Chains A and B, each alone.
Chain A
């Protein structure tokens, strides 16, 4: 409770020599970090580097084994979320926490002293400042990922926190919303709020942050003003790669083999929930990017092709033969596999062991008596090929970091031996190193003749990987761009409709 000495009282957050151990594994090894009023401080680190643990410790959700944490000069001696919040700190988590049965407004105001109805005006003002559209009376369970994220950000803003922690707040937002969020962050910083900003996107960090700290293996390995470090230095610090060779931050696409002419997937005038009259085709060995903003109908299209949503009209052909009465099991049997966007909700069996997860698509082909050793061997093959970091194949998927979870999910898709692979935001919430692993994997799959549809809101990623780019907006295919199309050209198509309508 006691106030620290003068210098520390200046800092909004003052973390000193914090250790955190889970069993024999130390996740934080003596971390010290400070956040000053008005500072936007980037925190980077690979998956499993300890960022989330550190932030949870500051937010009072995790109790450190040793070391001290002070918020606004007051020691957090008996950590709890309520206490950290009373001291003026709010953590916007990476995966939004939503009360599904309550309204959006109640979700935002939950835990505050005043009833939600009386805070309505203030919430509406914040919504307007963020330039987002949000129905405050909707039931929160109906919200899409991006809107859930916005609810979390609004929770932080309405609490008028003096220190905010934003854990990958932009991963589900459209570029437009990111800009509005950044404007809001700058305004907050100008008014003295300190912000920890966690992101894997270096470009965003350069744009918004004053200072940077890099965590690796539970320790701070690089720290200082943003301008003093190059991208290569930062990435090297994160990954400990001697030279930044493995890191492909340029936007130049790597040379890919010429796609074969064999048509693997043909989609003809397909209409479904949220999109209409979409036609395109994928050739063997081709990576086709499907760009667009959140809500453009990309996920709906993919889910309709995969048989998860009803088809209204149109046809899908796989390897030349029509694919009728589509259901996931039919698609998997015929070699079409879909990697869902929301890995926590639709992708992984979080409490099941890793080998079981990797074999999940093969379930219906397994004999009556399971052969656990085959599953373990299959997982081991993927683990070594993809560099999945885990303790054992029996570890529950929940305990892996985001990037490793995504790799397990990819392993699951590959185990089904796909001819056509639809990847929906395969690198959401994945750090730079794991992201490069995944990129390399996608390229090598294409080189082996798999046709890949890559859905992504990250246009850099699309440009970097794709042989062709399809752009969707408002439920329709807006256009097709050749390899090497610029990010601006894609953005132009993806947002063109909106700009035209606004004018």
Chain B
């Protein structure tokens, strides 16, 4: 049981999320209702999209801290185009194009010019925010047309068109990373870049496309933001890049690259958003939100680390246990050529031979 959790971060997180929901439900009856779930889902959409994009970048062992500004910039472009009378589908297309372009510039800096990603995206974090402010003249964009607000309308089952879009992105990402060759290249590039290059994997274009994907995801998050809020403030998306990184870490995406899954990020974002909603239910003042979210993140990570270490110790002990059995039975630890068909591992072979 312990080992399952140590090996499978997603399962751990899933159980913790369920327990949290249960505990809050006990403390505040009425929390466990369909309407709360719908609210949590709706509130998580923006962070979810940004986190998905960030995940792509982190898996390649890079980081993107510019996503909040990309969200703001593309949302501003969306708002300005809508208010200029451009039709909604075209405006959304322009918005996502701007996001992808911003991501492509990040990718160019990192994959093309070899700038470390933290430095490059810190730079563009300021750059894109400044660009947004100069576009809007520092004013909020208000009075967005009804057509975009309608996207956030409840379709009758608690979700909206936006929910469907996000679920679609989730499904595509999951399939892409798990089932396709190119998806495997993302993990390989982050795991061991030199090895990937050696096997003929185009590491630079992989890193580049990860940033383009992150930009497009942040822009889509900008669309969701505009639709849900109904106006676009100057600071739209401010600080969400760090929340997205936290959600990734909590969801089992390794900052060292090469490990992570869309499912983990999905659950982790739901979990973080649920806690925000629960605080409202528990009548805890809103200024505690960040404190509690941070404390929970640290607790989970420390516990997770401890469990992992305990399991590693146990596996190590098991691996060497064979040498300290009753009598030193000499069993072959490596089978000879004739004994080839059955292929035991070097570590389990001595036990099997006994």
Please report A residues at the B interface, Cβ cutoff 8 Å: 61, 80-86, 91, 93, 97-102, 106, 110-111, 113, 115, 124, 127-129, 131-135, 138, 144, 147, 155, 174, 176-177, 180, 271, 273-276, 295, 297, 312, 474-476, 497-498, 500-502
Contacts and interface: CB of A to CB of B under 8 A. Distances in A.
B184 A147 contact: no
B24 interface: no
Nearest to A111: B199
Contacts of A106: 184
A498 B346 CA distance: 13
Interface stretch (B268-276, B285-293, B325-333): B325-333
Interface stretch (B9-17, B117-125, B337-345): B337-345
27 contacts: A81-B198, A84-B200, A93-B198, A97-B198, A98-B192, A101-B187, A124-B343, A128-B341, A128-B343, A133-B344, A134-B345, A135-B344, A135-B347, A135-B348, A147-B346, A174-B334, A176-B336, A177-B334, A180-B337, A273-B316, A273-B319, A273-B320, A274-B323, A276-B323, A297-B323, A474-B350, A498-B336
B333 A295 contact: yes
Interface string B304-318: 000000000000100
Given A61-B198, A93-B198, A98-B192, A476 B343 contact: no
B55 to A, nearest CB: 15
Contacts of A124: 343
A475 B90 CA distance: 70
Nearest to A96: B195
B108 to A, nearest CB: 20
* Pairs A-B, 9 closest by C-beta atoms: A97-B195, A82-B200, A135-B345, A111-B199, A131-B337, A128-B340, A99-B191, A475-B323, A273-B320
A180 B348 CA distance: 22
B345 A133 contact: yes
A133 B184 contact: no
Given A115-B181, A131-B336, A100 B191 contact: yes
B188 A110 contact: yes
A129 B335 CA distance: 12
A500 B332 CA distance: 9
- Residue of A131, A276, A500 ringed by the most chain B CB atoms within 10 A: A131
A404 B23 CA distance: 62
Interface residues of B, number: 46
Contact of A497 (B201, B330, B336, B339): B330
A474 B195 contact: no
B24 to A, nearest CB: 34
Given A111-B201, A177-B334, 10 more contacts: A61-B198, A81-B197, A99-B191, A102-B191, A124-B343, A133-B343, A135-B343, A273-B316, A295-B346, A312-B324
Contacts of B340: 127-129, 131
Contacts, number: 133
B353 interface: yes
- Residue of A84, A133, A276, A497 ringed by the most chain B CB atoms within 10 A: A133
Given A101-B254, A133-B345, A498-B334, A274 B320 contact: yes
A404 B337 CA distance: 37
B192 A127 contact: no
B351 interface: no
Nearest to B334: A133
Given A147-B346, A312-B324, A474-B328, A82 B334 contact: no
Contact of B188 (A102, A273, A275): A102
A501 B258 contact: no
Interface in B180-213: 181, 184-185, 187-188, 191-192, 194-202
B349 interface: yes
B109 to A, nearest CB: 22
Given A81-B198, A273-B320, A502-B339, A97 B346 contact: no
B259 interface: yes
B344 A91 contact: no
Interface of B: 181, 184-185, 187-188, 191-192, 194-202, 254, 258-259, 316, 319-320, 323-324, 328, 330-341, 343-350, 353
Nearest to B259: A101
Contact of B333 (A81, A82, A85, A474): A474
Nearest to B316: A273
Nearest to B348: A135
A82 B203 CA distance: 11
A86 B191 CA distance: 23
A444 B191 CA distance: 43
Nearest to A135: B345
Nearest to B198: A97
Nearest to B257: A101
Contacts of B185: 111
Contacts of B259: 101
Nearest to A499: B336
Nearest to B330: A497
Contact of A98 (B195, B330, B334, B338): B195
A125 B192 CA distance: 27
Contacts of A98: 192, 195
Given A97-B192, A99-B192, A134-B343, A85 B200 contact: yes
A251 B195 CA distance: 38
A500 B346 CA distance: 18
Given A99-B258, A101-B258, A131-B340, A91 B198 contact: yes
A118 to B, nearest CB: 12
B335 A133 contact: yes
Contacts of B348: 135
Contacts of B196: 99, 110-111
A275 to B, nearest CB: 6
Contact of A61 (B192, B197, B335, B344): B197
Given A128-B343, A297-B323, A110 B199 contact: yes
Nearest to B336: A502
A300 B184 CA distance: 35
Nearest to A116: B184
Contacts of B199: 81, 85, 97, 110-111, 155
A501 B330 contact: yes
B310 to A, nearest CB: 15
A102 B187 contact: yes
A100 B345 CA distance: 17
A176 B334 CA distance: 10
Contacts of A475: 323, 328
Nearest to A313: B324
A297 B187 CA distance: 34
Nearest to B337: A131
B337 to A, nearest CB: 4
B224 to A, nearest CB: 32
A146 B319 CA distance: 17
Nearest to A183: B337
A295 B334 contact: yes
B201 to A, nearest CB: 6
Given A127-B343, A274-B323, A97 B316 contact: no
Contacts of B197: 61, 81
Contacts of A111: 185, 188, 196, 199-201
